[in-house]
Chains A and B, each alone.
Chain A
Amino acid sequence: MTTNMGLKEAGRRVLHLTFQDGLWDIFIGWLMLFGGIRSLTDNPWFSLAALGSVLLYMGGKLLITAPRLGRVKFGPALRARIGVARLVIAIAVLGTVFLLALVLSGQRPSAKVAGPLMVLGTTAVFLLIAYVWDFRRLYVYGLLMGISMTLEETVGDPIGAIVQCVFGGIALLVGLVVLVRFLHDYPTPVEGSPAEEAGDVNP
Chain B
Amino acid sequence: MSTPEERSEELHPLADIDQVIHAPARLMVVTYLYVVESADFVFLMRLTGLTWGNLSSHLGKLEKEGYIEIQKEFVGKKPHTMIRLTDRGRAAFREYKRRMQQVLGELPE
* A interface residue numbers (CB < 8 A to B): 2-3, 6-7, 10-11, 13-14, 17, 68-78, 186, 189, 193-195, 198-203
Q: Which residue of A lies closest to B101 (CB)?
A: A3
Q: When chains A and B are docked, how far (Å) is the Cα of A68 from the Cα of B37?
A: 20
B11 within 8 A of A: no
* B interface residue numbers (CB < 8 A to A): 31-32, 34-47, 52-53, 56, 72, 75-82, 97, 100-101, 104
Cβ 8 A contact of B81, one of A186, A193, A199, A203: A199
Contact in complex: A71, B80 (CB < 8 Å):
yes
Contact in complex: B42, A70 (CB < 8 Å):
yes
Contact in complex: B35, A14 (CB < 8 Å):
yes
Q: When chains A and B are docked, how far (Å) is the Cα of A69 from the Cα of B43?
A: 5
Contact in complex: B47, A14 (CB < 8 Å):
yes
Q: Which of B40, B75, B79 has the largest number of chain A CB atoms within 10 A?
A: B40
Q: Secondary structure at chain B's binding surface: helix, strand, loop or mixed? A: helix
Which 4 A-B residue pairings sit nearest by Cβ, starting from the closest? A70-B42, A70-B43, A200-B41, A73-B37
Q: Which residue of B lies closest to A76 (CB)?
A: B37
Given A198-B81, A203-B76, do A74 and B52 touch, yes or no (CB 8 Å)?
Answer: no
Contact in complex: A72, B41 (CB < 8 Å):
no
Contact in complex: B78, A2 (CB < 8 Å):
no
Which residues of chain B come closer than 8 Å to A200, judged between CB atoms?
A: 40-42, 80-81
**Inter-chain pairs besides A10-B31, A72-B40, A74-B36, 18 sampled, C-beta below 8 Å:** A2-B101, A3-B100, A6-B31, A10-B32, A11-B35, A17-B47, A70-B42, A72-B36, A72-B38, A73-B36, A73-B39, A194-B56, A195-B52, A198-B81, A199-B72, A200-B40, A200-B42, A203-B78
Which residues of chain A come closer than 8 Å to B80, judged between CB atoms?
A: 71, 199-200, 202
Contact in complex: B47, A195 (CB < 8 Å):
no
Q: Which residue of A lies closest to B42 (CB)?
A: A70
Given A70-B40, A200-B40, A200-B41, do A78 and B46 touch, yes or no (CB 8 Å)?
Answer: no
